[in-house]
Structure 1
Amino acid sequence: MSFSLEVKEDILSHTFKEKQVSAFLNAYIKYNANFSITNKGLSIQMSSNSNKVIRSIYEHLKTIFKGDIDIRIIQHQKLKKNKVFELILSGEIQKFLTEQNIYDFDNGDKVIRIPSEWTKKESIHRSYVAGLFVACGSVNSPTTTNYHLELQFNEEDSATYAMELLKNFPFKLIVRKNKYVIYMKKSTLISDFLRYIDATTSMMNYEATRIDRDFQNSLNRTINLDVSNQKKTNKAAEYQIELINKLMSSEKFRDMSKKIKALCKIRLSNPDSSFSELEYLMRVEGISITKAGISNLFKIMQREVNDN
């Protein structure tokens, strides 16, 4: 099951009150349904890849729709696709769509804007937005490298109005394959959106997976940095040991300071040590010095070797 479908089933496990059901179905029918003329007159078809989603929609529809509701299962054998579950509504369709403020038959178009009282009451507003997501939304799994949540519409007016309803979320609008898509990519805001549409379980799973993923990525970056730093340390140490051997084989070594001689001895005995570790080992020998001081001693050695 995709994460998007998981979220949609999570939303529909929520208990809706009567007005919330109307708001949810208003959005779902507007942006999922297809209309057609049959021998029974006008009918509505809605579909989903989830039996749970269709069954839940069916139960909610029975509370407000007085016509016939049929469920149909479609299996595409040749393409080996998942089953598609359909709801077909017939009888009193025009009355239902008009009463529910879904379709304006005088103008021949869906009613995009919702009643003002729905926008003022948060529980109703959230139910409408939840219906939008179940109808035309999707969200990437947090296990992927690309955090992404979107709502897809056929009409630009629907997309811009959805952005107006969701002004507290920084959605952006693009046109993709003749569809109007509003989307956002910030993971924390996606979590907030899932919480807003009452996909609580999915939101917690999303956050847990995201945090685990981000922690693992951070750990990998730290490990890679440590490996890189160790490689640099080893390369520098190889050069320093070569420098020390050249200096010790020359007569100049006898005239070197106590600090340089001590550093040469310690570096040869500890070829993998960092400057911080060399600093500590020098202090153990009773020589107070900093990492900058150690670097300076190696520069002195380099000059002496180059002067030969």
Structure 2
Amino acid sequence: MSFSNDVRQEICSSVNDKDRRFACLYGMLLFCRTLNREHICFQSESRVSAQLFCSLFEAVFRKKLSITEHTRKNGIILCSCDTDGDTAQEVFQKYRLSDNKRLIDSEIIATNSLGVFTAGVFLACGSVNDPNKEYHLEFACPEEGLAQQLATLLGDIGVTAKTVVRRGQHIVYIKGSESIEDTLTFIGASQCTLELMNTKIYKDIRNKANRIANCDAANIDKVVKAAMKQIDDIKLIDHAVGLDTLSDELREVAQLRLDNIDMSLQEIGETLSEPISRSGVNHRFKKLAKLADEIRGGSYEK
């Protein structure tokens, strides 16, 4: 089951009183596929949404609707709920719908039912991506005016929503995880909000762990690269003049490096017969590097 379906399931279980049923059905009707005085058609790929539409319609209008199913070429089943002309006329009268264009009439919705109205809109034309993949919630609105009104409504609750036209459809979309969390909570899907938040926490921890691992790997590569350069210098010195010509302190640090390619400067400093700091070890390797460069350049004098 997809995350969108989880949201729909939770919404459907929360529409449980007269005002909420009326407001939710209003959202589903206003944003459904076909809405005119001759015919109303609510369509959804979610049977749960279609069943709720029929249930709400019966509760508000005392009329039963049936669900017809059509299998698309891609194998997805589309559920449709249709009304006849007389019933459509009754719907237009009860919800004071306009013949010319669809508009949200806030006077029809009780103040405490605005969230469930928006839930109805989501059931009619909304979808939300799996938060494991992407933070994206959108509404595919049937008309431009509705898209603008919906974006404004979401803005009133502090949600940043934008609009775009995609393949002839007016899309209202939300990208930020926090705005999606606020929207899901607003439409009554608080459990899905918690699931999204948990997913985000897990992703943040995983990303942080990956960054640390990458940083550690980079540091290891840096240490090994430096150690290889030091070993090249030491071998050159040994071949050219012999390590026994070095001072005791340089010879000891050179031998430790030859024997321990993966040892850090701090570890070398702690292993010396007379321990010194990391910077002290680094200073000795700089002396060895200078000596090796002199040998390579032919300027070394015994």
TM-score (norm 1): 0.84
Structure 1 residues 130 and 250: alpha-carbon distance in aligned structure 2, compared to 1, 3 A threshold: same
**Which of the numbers 113, 128, 140 marks the counterpart of 2:129?**
140
Contact 1:70 1:89 in 2 (8 A): no
**Which of the numbers 29, 47, 61 marks the counterpart of 2:43?**
47
1-structure distance, mates of 2:20, 2:269 = 69
Kindly indicate whether residue 92 of structure 2 is the aligned counterpart of residue 97 of structure 1.
yes
Helix, strand or coil at the partner of 2:19: helix
Helix, strand or coil at the partner of 2:81: strand
Structure 1 residues 273 and 188: alpha-carbon distance in aligned structure 2, compared to 1, 3 A threshold: farther
Kindly indicate whether residue 83 of structure 2 is the aligned counterpart of residue 86 of structure 1.
no
Residue 138 of structure 1 and its aligned partner are, at CA, apart by: 1.3
**Which of the numbers 98, 106, 111 marks the counterpart of 1:114?**
106
**Which of the numbers 46, 54, 57 marks the counterpart of 1:58?**
54
**For residue 107 of structure 2, what is the amino acid of its counterpart?**
P
Structure 1: segments with no counterpart, 5+ residues:
none
Structure 1 residues 19 and 116: alpha-carbon distance in aligned structure 2, compared to 1, 3 A threshold: closer
Helix, strand or coil at the partner of 1:143: coil
Residue 23 of structure 1 and its aligned partner are, at CA, apart by: 1.3
Kindly indicate whether residue 183 of structure 2 is the aligned counterpart of residue 188 of structure 1.
no
Contact 1:259 1:287 in 2 (8 A): no
| Greater Cα offset, 129-138 or 181-190 | 181-190
1-structure distance, mates of 2:277, 2:115 = 65
**Which of the numbers 98, 119, 142 marks the counterpart of 1:130?**
119
**For residue 128 of structure 2, what is the amino acid of its counterpart?**
V
1-structure distance, mates of 2:233, 2:201 = 47
Kindly indicate whether residue 148 of structure 2 is the aligned counterpart of residue 160 of structure 1.
yes
Residue 141 of structure 1 and its aligned partner are, at CA, apart by: 0.5
The Cα offsets for residues 151-205 of structure 1, whole Å up to 9 and x where unpaired, read as 2223222122112111111112222222222222222332232122111232233
2-structure distance, mates of 1:57, 1:188 = 29
Residue 242 of structure 1 and its aligned partner are, at CA, apart by: 1.5
Structure 2: segments with no counterpart, 5+ residues:
296-302
Where does residue 73 of structure 1 map in the other structure? 69
Helix, strand or coil at the partner of 2:83: strand
Residue 126 of structure 1 and its aligned partner are, at CA, apart by: 0.9
The Cα offsets for residues 23-45 of structure 1, whole Å up to 9 and x where unpaired, read as 111111111141367xxxx2311
**For residue 93 of structure 1, what is the amino acid of its counterpart?**
A
TM-score (norm 2): 0.86
Contact 1:260 1:297 in 2 (8 A): yes
Where does residue 24 of structure 1 map in the other structure? 24
Residue 254 of structure 1 and its aligned partner are, at CA, apart by: 5.0
Structure 1 residues 68 and 16: alpha-carbon distance in aligned structure 2, compared to 1, 3 A threshold: closer
Contact 1:171 1:184 in 2 (8 A): yes
Contact 2:11 2:189 in 1 (8 A): yes
**For residue 51 of structure 1, what is the amino acid of its counterpart?**
R
Structure 1 residues 56 and 181: alpha-carbon distance in aligned structure 2, compared to 1, 3 A threshold: same
Query: How many residue pairs align between the two structures?
Result: 292
Alignment of 1:202-281 (within 5 A): 202-251=192-241, 253-254=243-244, 256-281=246-271
Residue 127 of structure 1 and its aligned partner are, at CA, apart by: 0.7
Alignment identity in percent? 25
Helix, strand or coil at the partner of 1:170: coil
Residue 80 of structure 1 and its aligned partner are, at CA, apart by: 4.7
**For residue 32 of structure 2, what is the amino acid of its counterpart?**
N
Where does residue 299 of structure 2 map in the other structure? none
Helix, strand or coil at the partner of 2:39: strand
Residue 86 of structure 1 and its aligned partner are, at CA, apart by: 1.4
2-structure distance, mates of 1:204, 1:236 = 48
The Cα offsets for residues 269-292 of structure 1, whole Å up to 9 and x where unpaired, read as 22112233334334xx332223x3
The Cα offsets for residues 13-68 of structure 1, whole Å up to 9 and x where unpaired, read as 2143211111111111111141367xxxx231111122222112211111111345
Residue 219 of structure 1 and its aligned partner are, at CA, apart by: 2.4
CA RMSD of aligned residues (A): 2.4
